Amino acid sequence: MALEEMSVVIARAVATLRAGGLVAFPTETVYGLGADASNPEAVKKVFAAKGRPHDHPLIVHVANSAQLTAWARDIPLAAHTLAQKFWPGPLTLILKRASGVSDLVTGGQDTVAIRVPSHPVAQALLQAFGGGVVGPSANRFGRVSATTAEHVRQEFGDAVDCVLDGGACEVGIESTIIDVSGATPALLRPGWITSTQIESALGASLAAPDAQSPRAPGTLEKHYAPRTPLMLVEGDLIDELARSFTRQGKRVAVLARNARQPLIEKLLWIAAPAAPAAYAHDLYANLRELDDAAGDVMLVEQPPPAIEWAAIRDRLMRAAADAAPSGEI
Ligand code: TXA
Ligand code: MG
Question: Within 51-185, where are the H helices?
Answer: 68-71, 77-86, 103-106, 120-129, 149-156
The pLDDT of residue 5: 86
The pLDDT of residue 327: 42
The pLDDT of residue 232: 96
Please spell the DSSP secondary structure of 34-48, one letter per residue.
Answer: EEETT-HHHHHHHHH
The number of the ligand nearest the C-alpha atom of 56 reads 1
The pLDDT of residue 326: 45
CA 174/CA 131 separation, integer angstroms: 22
Beta strands in the chain (DSSP E): 23-25, 32-36, 59-61, 72-73, 91-97, 111-115, 133-134, 162-163, 176-179, 186-189, 230-233, 252-256, 268-271, 297-301
For the chain, residues classed under CATH 3.40.50.11030 are 230-319
User: Rounded to the nearest whole angstrom, what is the distance from the C-alpha of residue 90 to the centroid of ligand 1?
Assistant: 12
Pocket flag, ligand 1, residue 112 (CB < 6 Å): yes
Question: Which fold does the domain 3-202 belong to in CATH?
Answer: DHBP synthase (3.90.870)
CA 114/CA 63 separation, integer angstroms: 10
Ligand 1 pocket, mutate which of 121, 156, 177, 178 (most atoms under 8 A from CB)? 177
Pocket flag, ligand 1, residue 139 (CB < 6 Å): no
Give the class (CATH, top level) of 230-319. Answer: alpha beta
The pLDDT of residue 208: 76
The number of the ligand nearest the C-alpha atom of 33 reads 1
pLDDT along the chain (329 residues), means of 10: 83 98 98 98 97 94 97 98 98 97 96 98 98 97 94 95 97 98 95 97 88 60 83 95 95 93 90 97 97 92 96 95 53
User: Rounded to the nearest whole angstrom, what is the distance from the C-alpha of residue 143 to the centroid of ligand 2?
Assistant: 8
For the chain, residues classed under CATH 3.90.870.10 are 3-202
CA dihedral 13, 17, 20, 23 (to 10 degrees): 60
The number of the ligand nearest the C-alpha atom of 189 reads 1
